[in-house]
Chain A
């Protein structure tokens, strides 16, 4: 539908643009789009760094949703009532859905879904450190909904305005669904707090274990987050890690009071001058251990994902064979090309450029 096509190897994503567009013009057009708070859409020209950052961020986010099914999925068969079981099933199913929305968004940038899965199970791409902690009691299900999903909402609401269109749209859908996740968790905890002394102790114990890891979900402190400035300039990120962490603390303290639990931080107190809660030092050494793969459940989580992927292989093959039989072999290797991804050449090129060095979100 465009007038001129070029095989300009240096800017393969610009195939849809007039050949007279110089690199500088493309860059300026990209920057202006961001300045005006317009969204970047899949087939727009974008700098390689932007594409790489988006693929890395979206893939890590997708992996987090998929791995995030495991800690709670663990409790589905042991939920204390049919009501809780149905809720937990729905929640875990949502996490799967969120992962799929995000993999789709990553694919619009030329990433390949199979390849992303392989990177995850080979430990070459990361997911949120929080899912490497174990869920020891059923109170953990409630605390994950309250704190972990609460922190995720804090992180994700601003991402609904992320400059990359497909990511922002996926985030809008996800945020709508996360609200149920947080509320079911809090309601579960309120129910337990109205129960026996032992149940109240379980809630406090789960809060003690999940509070600090939840604060780590916002990533390293701003001074140690070198990519933040670029991500803010690209409007990929709208607030710094520390800003979001503070917002989460401020929101959560009154919720803890209403619930009747103590947050495990002796330094946590209201600071009237700042208009925020002060809180204690996060154990960044622990965070680094976990993102380097040495958390309590890292190996288990990845092994479970690998087992699911490999165990499902025969199903994928059977479905493909059935489709081939009934469509006369229409489902061939060359027939999956996205309308978004500009060309096979772009995809190949980006396979080599994105992702291997991902740090935690």
Chain B
């Protein structure tokens, strides 16, 4: 046993990684879950074994959870208020007569 606390940290002190998988070419990477791993490379290998046992992906991203900056999950969050009243950003806001084609 080494005296270095970091070197002998138990598994729970392995950092948490969030895992994103691209299902197939042409699709975005999508968050699928998380796992613990001692380093980036092991995280990628664990992610492959854990989340793509049945050809669920062609590409995996792993990122340390601590590096993710997140907004509050609350749907009433004022953070999202700026987009709440801008209905004119949607195509359905504009009335176009039915006889105008291709619009």
Chain A residues packing against B (C-beta within 8 Å): 1-3, 16-18, 29, 41-44, 90, 93-94, 97, 100-101, 104, 107-108, 112-115, 169-170, 173, 177, 313, 316-317, 319-327, 329, 331-333, 335-340
Chain B residues packing against A (C-beta within 8 Å): 1-2, 4-16, 18, 32-36, 38-39, 42, 49-50, 53-54, 64-66, 68-74, 76-79
User: In the docked arrangement, what's the CA distance between A115 and B12, Å?
Assistant: 8
Given A113-B36, A322-B39, A331–B9 Cβ distance below 8 Å?
yes
User: In the docked arrangement, what's the CA distance between A169 and B30, Å?
Assistant: 13
Q: Are B70 and A1 in contact (CB under 8 A)?
A: yes
B62 vs chain A, min Cβ distance (A): 13
Residue of B nearest to A97 (CB): B50
Q: Are A317 and B39 in contact (CB under 8 A)?
A: no
Given A16-B74, A321-B2, A104–B11 Cβ distance below 8 Å?
no
A298 vs chain B, min Cβ distance (A): 25
Q: Are B7 and A338 in contact (CB under 8 A)?
A: no
**Which residues of the partner chain A approach B18 to less than 8 Å between Cβ atoms?**
339
Pick the residue among A18, A42, A44, A114 that contacts B12 (CB under 8 A).
A114
A113 vs chain B, min Cβ distance (A): 5
B51 vs chain A, min Cβ distance (A): 8
Q: Are B11 and A113 in contact (CB under 8 A)?
A: yes
A235 vs chain B, min Cβ distance (A): 18
Q: Are B74 and A338 in contact (CB under 8 A)?
A: no
A267 vs chain B, min Cβ distance (A): 41
**Which residues of the partner chain A approach B53 to less than 8 Å between Cβ atoms?**
90, 93-94, 97
**Which residues of the partner chain B approach A94 to less than 8 Å between Cβ atoms?**
53
